A and B are shown apart, each in its own frame.
Chain A
Amino acid sequence: MSAPAKTRTEPAGTGTRRGSRRRKQGIAGNALWFWVFVGPFVIGLLVFSYLPIIWSLILSFFEAYNTVTPSKFVGLQNYVDMLTDRNFLSSLGTFTIFAVFIVPLTFALSLLLALLVNQVKIARAFFRSVFFLPTACSYVVASLIWKLSIFNGVRFGLANTVLGWFGVDNIAWLSTVSPPWYWIPLITVRLWLQLGFYMILFIAGLQRISPTLYEAAYVDGAKPGWQVFRYITLPQLRATSVAVLILNLIAAYQAFDEFYNLIGNVNYARPPLVYLYGISLGQIQDLGHGSAGALILAAIIMIVTLLQSRLFGFGKAGD
Chain B
Amino acid sequence: MAVKAGRNRERTSGTPQPIGFSRSPLGRVGMVLRWIALFVAVVLFLLPFYLILRNALSTEGDITAPSWTLFPSHLQWGNIKELFSDTQVPMARALYNSAVVGILGTAGQLLLASMAGYGLARIPYKHADKIFYAIVATLMIPGAVTFIPSFIVVSSLGWVSSLRGLIIPTLFSGFAAFLFRQYFLGFPKELEEAARVDGAGYFGVFWRIVVPNSLPFFAALAAITFIGNWNSFLWPLVIGQDSSSWTIQVAMSTFITAQTINIHELFMAVAVSILPLVLIFAFLQRYLIQGVTQSGIKD
Residue ranges of A at the interface with B (Cβ–Cβ < 8 Å): 1-2, 4, 6-12, 14, 16, 30-31, 33-34, 36-38, 40-42, 44-45, 47-53, 55-56, 59, 68-69, 112-113, 115-121, 124-125, 127-150, 155-158, 160-161, 164, 192, 196-198, 200-201, 203-204, 206-207, 211, 214-215, 218, 223-225, 228-229, 233, 239-240, 243, 246-247, 250, 253-254, 256-257, 260-261, 264, 273, 276-277, 280-281, 287, 290-291, 294-295, 297-298, 301-302
Contacts and interface: CB of A to CB of B under 8 A. Distances in A.
A47 B153 contact: yes
A200 B296 contact: yes
Interface in B178-234: 182, 185, 189, 193, 196-197, 201-203, 206, 227, 230-234
A38 B119 contact: yes
B111 to A, nearest CB: 9
B266 A148 contact: yes
Nearest to B281: A136
Most A-side CB within 10 Å, residue of B138, B152, B230, B278: B152
A161 B68 contact: yes
B152 A59 contact: yes
B107 to A, nearest CB: 14
A197 B299 CA distance: 14
Contact of B257 (A136, A240, A264, A273): A264
Contacts of A55: 149, 152-153
Given A38-B119, A273-B147, 6 more contacts: A9-B124, A119-B17, A128-B289, A138-B274, A192-B44, A254-B145
Contacts of B2: 200, 203-204, 207
Contacts of B231: 136-141
A200 B253 contact: no
Contacts of A144: 252, 256, 266-267, 270
Contact of A52 (B64, B68, B149, B201): B149
A306 to B, nearest CB: 9
Interface on chain A toward B: helix, strand, loop, or mixed SS? helix
A135 B125 CA distance: 40
A280 B148 contact: yes
B87 interface: no
Interface in B3-54: 3, 5-6, 9-10, 12-13, 15-21, 23-24, 26, 30, 34, 37-38, 41-42, 44-46, 48-49, 51-52
Ordered nearest first, which 4 A-B pairs have the shortest CB separation?
A: A37-B119, A224-B20, A52-B149, A138-B231
B297 A37 contact: no
A287 B142 contact: no
A201 to B, nearest CB: 5
Most B-side CB within 10 Å, residue of A40, A52, A196, A298: A52
A40 B136 CA distance: 16
Contact of B6 (A6, A164, A203): A203
A273 B20 contact: no
Given A140-B253, A142-B48, A204-B293, A53 B141 contact: yes
Nearest to A120: B38
B196 A273 contact: no
Contact of B196 (A14, A203, A218): A14
Contacts of A9: 121-122, 124, 185, 189
A147 B297 contact: no
Nearest to B39: A127
A141 B274 contact: yes
5 contacts: A4-B133, A37-B115, A41-B177, A130-B42, A155-B64
Nearest to A258: B233
B98 to A, nearest CB: 10
Contacts, number: 357
B21 A261 contact: no
A207 B44 CA distance: 26
B2 to A, nearest CB: 5
B293 A138 contact: no
A130 B116 CA distance: 36
A215 B26 CA distance: 20
A42 B131 contact: yes
A273 B38 contact: no
B206 to A, nearest CB: 8
Interface string B263-281: 1001100100110011011
A191 B32 CA distance: 25
Contact of A133 (B143, B177, B281): B281
A16 B151 CA distance: 53
B285 interface: yes
Contacts of A240: 297
A98 B106 CA distance: 32
Given A45-B135, A56-B149, A224 B24 contact: yes
Contacts of A37: 115-116, 118-119, 123, 202, 206
A143 B203 CA distance: 46
B92 interface: no
Contact of B148 (A131, A147, A161, A291): A291
B89 interface: no
Nearest to B111: A40
Contacts of A161: 67-68
